[in-house]
Amino acid sequence: MGARNPAGEVKLVADSSSPNSGPVSGVAERYASALFDLAESGKKIKPVEKDLGRLEKLLDGSEDLMRLVRSPVFTAEDQQAAMGKVLDKAKITGIVGNFVRVVAGNRRLFVLPQIIQAFKTKLAESRGETSADVTVAAKLTPAQTKDLKATLKKVVGKDVALNVTVDASLLGGMIVKVGSRQIDTSLKTKLSSLKLALKEVG
């Protein structure tokens, strides 16, 4: 994936499966809405955005932390205690610190990554931006991020805030979703299409 134009020529097409469908997305949306309303009413949007960004980096950078968040083996008490230590060490306090503790206590910590993405989407909308969910095989460089934003802006006609998720199973390329439109340039999908074509030929 080159740094100059990681997505190639981006053409978004209709996707029959909405990225916001399903029970997990519904839960994430509700929690994100509550957090956004709390931050907005308290005039703490920027501090909350900053703390969520730091928390997202912690989640992305630690398999152990992600396991704690996603595994049903841990009790609510275990998750609250462990997340409390993580938050204290990272000095994430205030609205975000209290919010994450509530999420853990409600046994909803497994949707924390989706809550963060949903919050970023709401924030982008409040700023008149469009939000794009981007799944990549490897972390984007600053140059790739800049080029992708510029490419998407040409497509949708406005600034685009990126919600980036790394999924090594894609092998290469990326999947970009903007609303109900999607482009899939992942190597995994291309290989699947090739296998299907070979079966039809055989």
Q: Is the pLDDT of residue 22 over 90?
A: no
Question: What is the domain partition of the chain in residue ranges?
Answer: 13-19+129-201, 23-117
Top-tier CATH class for 23-117:
mainly alpha
Q: What is the DSSP letter of 44?
A: -
Residue whose entry in the numeric block shows the structure tokens 């999908």: 189
∠ at Cα 91 (136, 138), nearest 5°? 10
Measure the CA–CA gap between 93 and 154, rounded to whole angstroms: 38
Backbone angles phi, psi at 18, to 5 degrees: -70, 135
- CB within 8 A of 178, min separation 6: which ones? 12, 130, 131, 132, 133, 152, 155, 156, 160
Q: Is the pLDDT of residue 11 over 60?
A: no
**Burial (0-12, 13-18, 19+ Cβ within 10 Å), 77:** exposed
Tens-digit pLDDT profile for residues 48-94: 999 999 999 899 888 899 999 999 899 989 999 999 999 999 999 99
Give residue 131's identity as a one-letter amino acid code. Answer: S
| Tokens of residue 191, six digits | 């290989």
Helix axes 45-61, 94-105, angle to 10 degrees: 50
Q: Looking at residue 173, what is its pLDDT? A: 81
Q: Stretch 187-198: mean pLDDT, rounded? A: 72
Q: Is the pLDDT of residue 194 over 50?
A: yes
Measure the CA–CA gap between 92 and 52, rounded to whole angstroms: 9
pLDDT-derived band at 192 (thresholds 50, 70, 90) equals confident
Q: Stretch 112-130: mean pLDDT, rounded? A: 89
DSSP states along 181-195: EEEE--HHHHHHHHH
Question: Across 86-95, 150-159, 167-176, 179-188, which has the greatest mean pLDDT?
Answer: 86-95
